[in-house]
């Protein structure tokens, strides 16, 4: 037997022992080393994967069973890229999502949640009712999110769910939440304004914006700081009323604008809030329609709710003496909220602020890397003449809205009000025998508050706290929101200085 076997040096027993040893070696290899060997043997080809996502700005995405390439972070045809597939074998085409599929690692769902999700998907439970039905805002958001993903077949992975206080927005800030968007907050400053220093929070995804504003702050600080003056503080609301004849509309206009009636009207208006104080009423006639622009101070609140309540009080009061008056709308666009309008540019809305600084010639050269002469010339050509050529309305500036919007988002203002809040004329003039630069921004309608709306939320409130204007000012109501408006204007001043300095025309003439 020994001589007839090819393994004639081994006995049958020895042969069996060798085979057993080899088998257990292979088993151990598979058990511990499979990922390593698979990665060596089965490395995906460069057809499947971009070599370096950062360099190439592409990532391969397997979708619906075929390969495509899309920019980093961007889905194909609006689909969210799903990368949890076997990199070797393209995933089989996905069937339409089944109701029990879990889309999101963030969501921990109980059996009870699954039932609610099923009823939302089936349409028997309205999504908006989840907070009241479940009595738990975070759970309502999780359930709504999962139901939404199942109904749309789209993943929300990447939109955070956890780490947010959903109770704090209930009935105040956002309905039917499914998560929250993250926006980085950068700090520009210190901004030296009116003898104080401010670290200015800016929420933005625009690269260089914070850095540029920071450079402007530096130029201001090295020149002794900026100063601001609050010219006016009054929120407006304008209802439209209609009469049978223009004559009657005019009679009401004269009645409301008469100084003799102001006291009676203001006591009716002011009863809406301990902070609302009527300042003026202006009427504009269009045939038999009358547009009434009410203006009032609103303490530390931005004031839209407050002024609207005051206007409603006046409308009720007027019905007695003007029973033929039809109130067509409590807001007629003559206010004017969140739309570009000359009335805000000319009359102002919210806080009207002018802010100025004298930047030393030396600082213009060293920090802004340009010259006083070049800045004055470009400001005239761009912010004044260029904007006039474009038929601008309040847009006589380089990028006020960039700074306004970033501060508004960080501090919980209504970002849609950036429209009129960004109205700004930037002036630059050579002073001190042409050595230094006088720069100013005049902003007639900065609409900000430090109470109400988004200002109460944790992150936004932290940013207000950083500026020292969190919440209501108890000693002097209104002074927090007024201070915030001056900080907005001061930051815009810094942004304008830096932006105009960085234009090619001026930099080519630097020094
Ligand atoms: P808005 O009028 O800006 O929409 P809200 O009505 O949401 O503001 O919030 C203002 C609320 O805050 C009012 O109910 C008001 O009574 C209260 N409040 C407390 N302190 C102040 C203050 N210092 N200034 C203005 N409002 C204040």
**DSSP per-residue string spanning 222-290:** HTT-BEEEEEEEEEEE--EEE-SSHHHHHHHHHHHH-HHHHHHHHHHHHTT-SS-EEEEEEEEEETTEE
**Mind listing the pLDDT tens digit of every residue in the chain (511 residues)?**
344 444 455 566 676 666 656 655 555 444 444 433 333 333 333 322 222 222 322 222 222 222 233 322 222 223 323 333 333 333 444 434 444 455 677 678 999 999 999 999 999 999 999 999 999 999 999 999 999 999 999 999 999 999 999 999 999 999 999 999 999 999 999 999 999 999 999 999 999 999 999 999 999 999 999 999 999 999 999 999 999 999 999 999 999 999 999 999 999 999 999 999 999 999 999 999 999 999 999 999 999 999 999 999 999 999 999 999 999 999 999 999 999 999 999 999 999 999 999 999 999 999 999 999 999 999 999 999 999 999 999 999 999 999 999 999 999 999 999 999 999 999 999 999 999 999 999 999 999 999 999 999 999 999 999 999 999 999 999 999 999 999 999 999 999 999 999 966 544 443 3
Cα separation, 197 vs 221, whole angstroms:
9
Residue nearest to atom 2 of ligand 1 (CA): 303
Q: Taking the alpha carbons of 310, 311, 312, 314 in that order, is the dihedral positive or negative? A: positive
Query: Rounded distance, CA 335 to CA 293, Å?
Result: 6
User: Per DSSP, which regions of 272-349 are E strands?
Assistant: 277-286, 289-297, 326-329
Ligand 1: centre distance to CA 275 (Å):
7
d(CA 239, CA 349): 16
Q: Specify the 3-state DSSP secondary structure of 37.
A: helix
Ligand 1 is surrounded, with C-beta below 6 A, by: 273, 275, 298-306, 449, 451-453, 472-473, 477
> Of all atoms in ligand 1, which is nearest to the CA of residue 472?
23
Q: What is the pLDDT of residue 19?
A: 63
Q: From the CA of 302, how far away is ligand 1's center (Å)?
A: 8
**Locus of tokens 């504003």:** 213
Closest by CA position to 145, among listed 165, 163, 170, 162? 162
Please, what is the angle between helix 209-222 and helix 400-411, to 10°? 100
Ligand 1 centre distance from Cα of residue 303 (Å): 7
The set of residues, in sequence order, having a beta carbon less than 8 Å from that of 106 and lying 6+ positions away, is 142, 157, 160, 161, 162
Question: What pLDDT is recorded for position 197?
Answer: 98
Nearest CA among 99, 193, 188, 149 for reference residue 489: 193
Q: How far is the CA of 190 from the centre of ligand 1 (A)?
A: 29
pLDDT confidence of residue 356: 99
210 half-sphere exposure, CB direction, 13 A CA radius: 19
Closest CA to 377 of 428, 426, 425, 424: 428
- The Cα–Cα gap between 131 and 112 comes to 15
């Amino acid at each position: 037997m020994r001589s007839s076997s090819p393994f004639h040096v081994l006995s049958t027993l020895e042969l069996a022992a060798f085979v057993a040893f080899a088998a257990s070696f292979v088993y151990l290899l598979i058990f511990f080393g499979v990922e390593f060997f698979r990665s060596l043997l089965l490395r995906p080809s460069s057809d499947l994967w971009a070599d370096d996502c950062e360099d190439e700005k592409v990532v391969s995405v397997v979708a619906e069973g075929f390969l495509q390439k899309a920019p980093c972070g961007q889905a194909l045809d609006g689909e969210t890229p799903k990368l949890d597939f076997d990199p070797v074998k393209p995933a089989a085409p996905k069937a339409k999502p089944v109701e029990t599929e879990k889309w999101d690692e963030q969501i921990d769902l109980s059996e009870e949640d699954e039932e609610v999700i099923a009823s939302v998907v089936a349409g028997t439970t309205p999504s908006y009712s989840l907070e009241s039905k479940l009595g738990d805002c975070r759970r309502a958001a999780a359930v709504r999110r999962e139901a939404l993903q199942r109904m749309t077949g789209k993943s929300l992975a990447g939109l955070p769910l956890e780490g947010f206080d959903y109770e704090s927005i209930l009935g105040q800030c956002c309905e039917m939440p499914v998560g929250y968007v993250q926006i980085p907050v950068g700090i520009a400053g210190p901004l030296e304004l009116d003898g104080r220093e401010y670290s200015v929070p800016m929420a933005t995804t625009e690269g260089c914006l914070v850095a540029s504003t920071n450079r402007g702050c530096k130029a201001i600080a090295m020149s002794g700081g900026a100063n601001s003056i609050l010219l006016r503080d009054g929120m407006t609301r304008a209802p439209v009323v209609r009469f049978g004849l223009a004559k009657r509309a005019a009679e009401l206009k004269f009645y409301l604008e008469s100084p003799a009636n102001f006291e009676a009207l203001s006591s009716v208006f002011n009863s809406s809030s301990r902070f609302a104080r009527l300042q003026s009423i202006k009427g504009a006639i269009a045939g038999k329609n009358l547009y009434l622009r009410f203006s009032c101070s609103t303490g530390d609140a931005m004031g839209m709710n407050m002024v609207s309540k005051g206007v409603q009080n006046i409308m009720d009061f007027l019905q007695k003496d003007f029973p033929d008056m039809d109130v067509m709308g409590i807001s007629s666009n003559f206010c004017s909220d969140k739309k570009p309008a000359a009335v805000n540019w000319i009359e102002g809305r919210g806080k009207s602020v002018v802010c100025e600084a004298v930047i030393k010639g030396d600082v213009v050269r060293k920090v802004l890397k340009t010259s006083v002469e070049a800045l004055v010339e470009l400001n005239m050509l761009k912010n004044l003449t260029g904007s006039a050529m474009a038929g601008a309305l309040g847009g006589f500036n380089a990028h006020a809205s960039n700074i306004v919007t970033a501060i508004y988002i960080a501090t919980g203002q209504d970002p849609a009000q950036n429209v009129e809040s960004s109205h700004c004329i930037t002036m630059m003039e050579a002073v001190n025998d042409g050595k230094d630069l006088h720069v100013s921004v005049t902003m007639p309608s900065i609409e900000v508050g430090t109470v109400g709306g988004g200002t109460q939320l944790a992150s936004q409130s932290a940013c207000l706290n950083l500026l020292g204007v969190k919440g209501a000012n108890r000693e002097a109501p209104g002074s927090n929101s007024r201070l915030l408006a001056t900080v907005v204007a001061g930051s815009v001043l810094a942004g304008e200085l830096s932006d105009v300095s960085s234009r090619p025309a001026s930099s080519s003439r630097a020094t």
